[in-house]
Amino acid sequence: MKLFEDTYRHKGLRMKLIKTLKDKGISDENVLYAIEHIPRHFFLDSAFDKIAYEDRAFPIGEGQTISQPYTVAYQSQLLQVRRGDKILEIGTGSGYQASVLAEMGAWVYTIERQKKLFDKQKEFIFKKKYPNIKFFYGDGFEGVPAYAPFDKIVITAAAPFIPPKLVEQLKTGGLMVIPVNEGDLQRMLRITKKEDGSYEEEIFDYFSFVPMLGGKEK
């Protein structure tokens, strides 16, 4: 069951979370604004109500998780989101990261390989608030060619490698933020696509994501 009530207590906890994120180095004001204004507890079962604003990942069913707020903030900051950006997200999960990008004024195309998680988005609480999110059921390794090219692409699962089809679907000068496996953890990479189709790579911190898997699941 989910509870859709945003109380002063929840808002207070979000303000504390914002302070934590700033202390950890998040400085993009638009990212902080979005996180401060989106009720994360709406994306979780009511059992998590009291802890929804701890800086932790939580289970969302089907063995998957909603990413830690710091991770969402970190990836969103690296994406340098501008109003009107067309962004592809791999791994819809709870829909929280998609909502953060939508709140920042992006057009969001988000794809999920687990049918049950995808189906949950039919009751997406912010359908009216964020008409700028489109949900797809499919394999993120394939991207969403029908809507390519994208200004930005964000992968929210541990990628075994940089998927070539996603590089193809990026605009020249576009950015991709992707956690790539390095032993038990993932290295956050940001690639910038060059005019000749190749890319430059920047290396950031280590994170821990659920795996990016090929194919779809019913």
Nearer to ligand SAH by Cβ, of 12 and 214: the residue is 214
User: Is residue 39 a contact point for ligand SAH (CB under 6 A)?
Assistant: no
What three-state secondary structure class fits 202?
Answer: strand
User: By CB under 6 A, which span of 5-13, 33-41, 183-191, 205-213 interacts with ligand SAH?
Assistant: 205-213
Scan residues 154-193 and list those touching ligand SAH (CB under 6 A): 156-157
Hey, what are 152's tokens?
């930005």
Scan residues 101-130 and list those touching ligand SAH (CB under 6 A): 111-114, 117
Answer for the pair 204, 184: CB distance below 8 angstroms, yes or no. Answer: no
Nearer to ligand SAH by Cβ, of 172 and 205: the residue is 205
DSSP letters along 2-13, please?
Answer: ------HHHHHH
Question: Residue 150 and residue 153: Cα distance in Å, rounded?
Answer: 7
User: Is residue 212 a contact point for ligand SAH (CB under 6 A)?
Assistant: yes
User: By CB under 6 A, which span of 94-102, 169-177, 178-186, 194-202 interacts with ligand SAH?
Assistant: 94-102
User: By CB under 6 A, which span of 3-11, 133-141, 164-172, 184-192 interacts with ligand SAH?
Assistant: 133-141
DSSP character at residue 210: P
* Catalytic hit among 67, 76, 94, 99: 67
When binding is defined by CB under 6 A, the residue of 91, 143, 174, 179 that contacts ligand SAH is 91
Question: Residue 24 and residue 28: Cα distance in Å, rounded?
Answer: 12
When binding is defined by CB under 6 A, the residue of 93, 143, 174, 179 that contacts ligand SAH is 93
Is 46 assigned a catalytic role? Answer: no
Nearer to ligand SAH by Cβ, of 157 and 178: the residue is 157
Hey, what are 31's tokens?
């990212």
Nearer to ligand SAH by Cβ, of 20 and 68: the residue is 68
Question: Residue 3 and residue 218: Cα distance in Å, rounded?
Answer: 27
Question: Residue 210 and residue 91: Cα distance in Å, rounded?
Answer: 10
Question: Residue 38 and residue 90: Cα distance in Å, rounded?
Answer: 20
User: By CB under 6 A, which span of 7-15, 44-52, 88-96, 145-153 interacts with ligand SAH?
Assistant: 88-96
Question: Residue 70 and residue 57: Cα distance in Å, rounded?
Answer: 9
Q: Which of 189, 218, 206, 213 is nearest to 91 (CA)?
A: 213
Catalytic residues: 67
Binding residues (CB under 6 A) for ligand SAH: these are: 64-67, 90-91, 93-94, 96-97, 111-114, 117, 139-141, 156-157, 210, 212-214
